[in-house]
């Protein structure tokens, strides 16, 4: 019986030691207040506020109920409630003891809890207030999250620094006692004196009992997901939707023109700009985040830059994305510093320690950071976002803090060209004030020109006037904003994979981009690197997501390659003016006994720059295929005539094209071709040295004889053409 009784006592002890204590947490209040609604009349009332978290402190212990020991009579005073500052008993409970100041905290029998201070803001123009979290609510809110806090406003003393409980107060108290005893003055009533003058100022804070993340659904979709968990994530998202929403998404995904309807639903208040809307849609969908076996993350987010003249709706696109996306940050490049974009190390006003305050890119983690006036940023500030745009991390090494923080964000930038207007005669690189590393990190570039076109101006004016008259009734997009948001969230759960056919097509398209870059057609505009291949993969994945397809089809790759060609390669070039002399009628005339030749008439022939590049490449390739042996003028003329066969209908057209060919050949002789004697061998240096005089003599002879009518005949028979030694022929070798 005694053993059973001892066992029962042990069970009671275990039950008592494992008693759970719950903290009351209210949530889902019907009304949400703004931060500016927190006034003194709300103190003590239960309310919910919504704001964006900008800074969180580390989790610290907070003394809730302290057990104090009187240092004079050793009596214990339990459950002394703390009023947001270290609070001691006012007076000893023993009738014979008059102790008021000599107290010791018994830490092992006092009650502590976790607490955290969260700073939130409603908008950048409003002074942020503070939120106090306790118990299980700590570490629920991260910087950048939009959260709903349920709790009550409080008035607390404005204490700038909190010391260790009991230590700092005792040191101040001992100092006061020593001064009082030395002066022979008693303390008397020490109420206000114990608080101190600085504690008489108070501030309103908010004690939250519940934190609810508004963007929890979005965060679940944007996190890195294991490919094996695709189906589970897909089902989790569908469970969060009601039956009507699920049916709507299924019906939308089964439409044949779903991609075009999604594009038309992006920013419907802006007229036209279909290609920009397509790029923004793909940026909202994003690619697939991947991780290498070494643990290196490969970004799946798309970076887009819009370059254009003023009043071309660049900022309107940025505002629309920030309004539509639940986690988007809008900032201006001119008013943003490197620390404001990435992260800053600041001194905590309470603990005095250095903490990291999130910048715009960290606040937009798993979202979009829209940067307006990107070209107005200083070069040093642009360098600060290099790492965030490619590696999607921000590394801080300041004030003894070394940390690598996540910045998994897509950047949507808007920039004005140099001088305010886009110069079509210059390349994209020469039109914007950006460095080459920054430009290579953007997946898409869109150039918007303010051109004077009467029909387009008429349609734009009607659209704007109709919007001012009728408002939203003037716009009728295929899908509403809410439906578009749900569909995009649903599409982001899809993780498409590259098919074998798409793999081969991706490689082929990348080689074409590299070849076009090497030929000089886009050399001054943008250097094609492996990053453009990765951009093509991400764009193909985003297009597959738009179609709710688990496999990347070849047509998606073609669409992605077309986007890259339009945004990067397409640079406006002036037409190449290749004039030729019309000297058919050069009969001799006699006037006043003087013979003279009638001056020939020069006819201008402007050929598009792209056409000029194609003809030039064909000629260079034909000479290259002869293993650097010279090609005669007749061979090159046949090649030119075959290329221009579609524009020749009669003998007159043939004669005109022959004259154009001779003019083109003279143009290529300036920097692409070299005229040499027939049978010239570039490998034989001895031949070049020995026959130098003979070659010079032949050249002089040809010049003298060429003054007559037989110049062309002699040139065709005795001379050939080779590639100029200064021409880079590596791309010809690759294409061959």
**Residue 425 CB partners (closer than 8 Å, separation 6+):** 572, 574
- Tell me how crowded residue 336 is: count the other CB atoms within 10 A of its CB: 23
DSSP secondary structure string for all residues of 329-363: EEEESTT--HHHHSEEEEE-TTT--EEEEE-HHHH
pLDDT of residue 7: 55
Of 465 and 682, the one with more pLDDT: 465
Tell me what pLDDT residue 124 has: 42
Which residue in 300, 298, 299, 265 sits closest to 281, CA to CA? 265
User: What does the pLDDT look like over 593-639, one tens digit per residue?
Assistant: 444 445 556 677 777 777 788 888 888 888 887 765 667 888 888 88
Between 498 and 706, whose confidence is greater? 498
What's the pLDDT at 680? 63
pLDDT value at 151 more than 60: yes
State the Cα–Cα distance between residues 363 and 336, nearest whole angstrom: 14
Full set of structural domains in the chain with CATH? 35-214 (2.40.50.140), 215-285+452-493 (no CATH), 294-451 (3.40.50.300), 494-573 (1.10.8), 580-588+606-735 (1.20.58)
Taking only the tens place, the pLDDT of each residue in 501-528 is: 989 999 988 888 877 766 554 444 556 7
Tell me the pLDDT tens digit for each residue of 216-266. Answer: 544 443 433 333 343 346 667 777 777 888 888 888 888 888 888 888 888
For residue 33, give the DSSP letter: B
pLDDT of 683 over the 70 cut: no
User: The pTM is what?
Assistant: 0.61
Amino acid 688: pLDDT: 41
- CB burial class (10 A; 0-12, 13-18, 19+) of residue 400? exposed
pLDDT of residue 732: 60
More confident residue, 568 or 335: 335
Q: Chain-wide mean pLDDT for the chain?
A: 74
Q: How confident is the model at residue 550 (pLDDT cuts 50, 70, 90)?
A: confident
Residue 446 in this model has a pLDDT that exceeds 80? yes
Query: What is the band of 591 on the pLDDT scale with cuts at 50, 70, 90?
Result: very low
Rounded-to-integer distance, Cα 194 and Cα 186, Å? 14
Q: Output 685 or 307, whichever has higher pLDDT.
A: 307
């Amino acid at each position: 019986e005694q053993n059973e009784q001892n066992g029962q006592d042990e069970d009671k002890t275990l039950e008592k030691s494992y008693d759970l204590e719950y903290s009351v947490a209210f949530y889902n209040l019907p009304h949400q207040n703004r931060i500016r609604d927190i006034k003194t009349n709300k103190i003590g009332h239960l309310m919910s506020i919504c704001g964006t978290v900008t800074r969180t402190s580390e989790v610290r212990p907070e003394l809730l109920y302290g057990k104090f020991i009187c240092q004079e009579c050793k009596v214990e005073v339990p459950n002394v409630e703390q009023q947001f500052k270290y609070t001691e008993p006012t007076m000893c409970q023993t009738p014979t003891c008059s102790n008021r100041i000599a107290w010791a905290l018994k830490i092992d029998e006092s009650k502590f809890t976790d607490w955290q201070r969260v700073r939130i803001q409603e908008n950048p123009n409003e002074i942020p207030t503070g939120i106090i979290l306790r118990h299980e609510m700590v570490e629920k809110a991260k910087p950048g999250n939009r959260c709903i806090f349920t709790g009550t406003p409080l008035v607390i003393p404005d204490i700038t620094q909190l010391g260790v409980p009991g230590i700092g107060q005792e040191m101040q108290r001992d100092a006061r006692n020593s001064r009082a005893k030395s002066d022979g003055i008693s303390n008397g009533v020490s109420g206000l004196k114990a608080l101190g003058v600085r504690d008489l100022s108070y501030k309103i804070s908010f004690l939250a009992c519940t934190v609810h993340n508004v963007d929890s659904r979005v965060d679940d979709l944007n996190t890195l997901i294991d490919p094996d968990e695709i189906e589970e994530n897909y089902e989790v998202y569908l469970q969060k939707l009601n039956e009507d929403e699920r049916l709507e998404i299924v019906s939308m995904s089964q439409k044949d023109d779903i991609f075009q309807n999604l594009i038309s639903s992006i920013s419907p208040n802006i007229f036209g700009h279909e290609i920009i809307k397509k790029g923004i849609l793909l940026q909202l969908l994003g690619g697939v985040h991947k991780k290498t076996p070494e643990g290196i993350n490969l970004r799946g987010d798309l970076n887009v830059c819009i370059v254009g003249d003023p009043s071309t709706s660049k900022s309107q696109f940025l505002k629309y994305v920030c309004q539509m996306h639940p986690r988007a940050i809008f900032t201006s490049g001119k008013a943003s510093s490197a620390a404001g974009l990435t992260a800053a190390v600041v001194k905590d006003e309470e603990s005095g320690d250095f903490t990291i305050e999130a910048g715009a890119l960290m606040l937009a983690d798993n979202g979009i950071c829209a940067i307006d006036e990107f070209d107005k940023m200083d070069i040093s500030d642009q360098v600060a976002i290099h790492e965030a745009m490619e590696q999607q991390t921000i590394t801080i090494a300041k004030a003894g803090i070394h940390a690598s923080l996540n910045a998994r964000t897509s950047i949507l930038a808007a920039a004005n060209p140099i001088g305010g207007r886009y110069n079509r005669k210059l390349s994209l690189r020469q039109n914007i004030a950006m460095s080459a590393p920054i430009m290579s990190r953007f997946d898409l570039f869109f150039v918007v020109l303010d051109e004077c076109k009467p029909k387009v101006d008429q349609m734009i004016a009607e659209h704007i006037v109709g919007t001012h008259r009728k408002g939203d009734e003037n716009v009728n997009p295929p899908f509403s904003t809410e439906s578009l948001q749900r569909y995009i969230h649903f599409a982001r759960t899809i993780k498409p994979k590259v098919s074998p056919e798409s793999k081969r097509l991706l490689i082929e398209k990348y080689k074409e981009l590299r070849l076009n870059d090497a030929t000089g057609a886009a050399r001054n505009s943008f250097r094609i690197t492996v990053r453009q291949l990765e951009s093509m993969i991400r764009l193909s994945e985003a297009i597959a997501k738009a179609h709710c397809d688990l496999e990347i089809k070849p047509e998606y790759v073609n669409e992605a390659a077309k986007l890259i060609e339009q945004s990067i390669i397409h640079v406006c070039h002036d037409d190449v003016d290749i004039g030729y002399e019309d000297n058919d009628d050069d009969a001799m005339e006699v006037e006043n006994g003087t013979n003279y030749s009638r001056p020939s008439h020069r006819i201008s022939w402007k050929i598009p720059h792209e056409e000029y590049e194609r003809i030039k490449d064909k000629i260079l390739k034909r000479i290259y295929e002869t293993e650097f042996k010279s090609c005669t003028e007749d061979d090159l003329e046949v090649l030119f005539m075959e290329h221009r066969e579609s524009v020749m209908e009669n003998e007159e057209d043939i004669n005109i094209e022959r004259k154009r060919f001779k003019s083109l050949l003279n143009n290529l002789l300036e920097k692409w071709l070299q005229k040499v004697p027939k049978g010239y061998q570039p490998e034989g240096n001895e031949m070049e040295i020995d026959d130098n005089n003979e070659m010079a003599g032949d050249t002089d002879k040809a010049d003298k004889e060429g003054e007559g009518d037989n110049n062309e005949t002699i040139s065709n028979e005795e001379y050939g053409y080779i590639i100029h030694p200064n021409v880079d022929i590596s791309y010809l070798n690759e294409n061959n």
